[in-house]
Amino acid sequence: MNTTKKDIRSLTKEQIRDFFVAQGDKAFRGNQVYEWLWSKGAHTFNDMTNLSLETRVMLEQHFVINHILVDTMQHSTDGTIKNAVRLHDGLIVESVLIPTETRTTACVSSQVGCSLDCNFCATARLKRMRNLAPDEIYDQVLAIDQESRLYHNRPLSNIVFMGMGEPLMNYPNVMKAIDKITSDEGLGMSPKRITVSTSGVSKMIKKMADDEVKFKLAVSLHSAIEETRNKIMPFTKSFPLPELREALEYWYRKTKSKITYEYVVWKGINDDKAAIDALVKFCKYVPCKVNIIEYNPIDDGEFQQADPNVIDAYLKALNNAGIVAKVRRSRGKDIDAACGQLANKS
């Protein structure tokens, strides 16, 4: 890691253009460099083959490109790929490529470790070390797009922020990364193909609505009974259900965008009729759909998969109430790549 040189990707296109003018060069040179950095994903200045050797050496003297490195890549028998991503300071995060017959989804991380304390999540066992920079988030997406093209013969179609970290606790950098991903100068992806998943940070959900974001919102709910939710995710005592409900109603009023509830069912925790009834009631407040998630156990502790009959009971109750619900099966089980339950195994 070089601490004396600035990462060139922290500069805007205008700043790079100004730099070239200050060096006595043409401003359009900055456009060329910017294109290499973002839409072409250059890892080094030497990759910028339409620049003279002299220009590349000059850039090397002034700047660095703190690009991620896919340290290890694990391939599942179902086509899922898990990346252990090494950052410029040696820290590791994970990202996952999840293919289906019709789409390829990138599950990306937004923090090293996590600020929150969800008891069922492997990532929560790691203390939060730092937020990811916008370019580090962008690089994960670019790497998975390249892997999708290489291994599945099609470009990346969707992105979910469900890897390590709470995206809304790194709001400015996540927003900058999404701006770059959706920009024509970046990957040009439609924001409607991006989902940001939060554990329910109410005030930030309202801020997103005020900022008129165009991407989709998912909420890791897991229980609509306050006491149970606090047990599963202790930090939610700071974001009680009435407050979350108000924030989600505000979101829908401002955006007219349906919310997706991510909901894991565990044996002996939220697998009774009271839990089902509470979820159905909560779902009626705001237009939504529900993903019932098959749990991928991280040890032999209290969080274990619920009986399939309970999953069926949830689906039946939700569907009878006119709420769209489906079961999301765990992918990449043979490589421990369940999205949202990522852990640093190194």
Q: Name the active-site residue from 94, 136, 166, 262.
A: 94
On the CB side of 271, how many CA atoms lie within 13 Å of its CA? Answer: 19
- Report the alpha-carbon distance of residue 37 to residue 186 in Å, rounded: 9
Whether 94 is a known active-site residue: answer yes
Two tokens, residue 188: 């040009």
- Say if CB 287 and CB 249 are below 8 A apart: no
Q: 277-294 burial, b for 16+ CB within 10 Å, e for fewer?
A: ebbbebbeebebebbbbb
Q: What is the bridge-based pairing of β-strands 104-107 and 92-99?
A: antiparallel
- Residues forming a β-bridge with 266: 305
The catalytic position among 118, 283, 288, 339 is: 339
102 Cβ partners below 8 Å, 6+ apart?
Answer: none
**Inter-residue contact 71 to 319 (CB < 8 Å):** no
- As a whole number of Å, the end-to-end CA separation of the chain is 20
Residues catalogued as catalytic: 94, 339
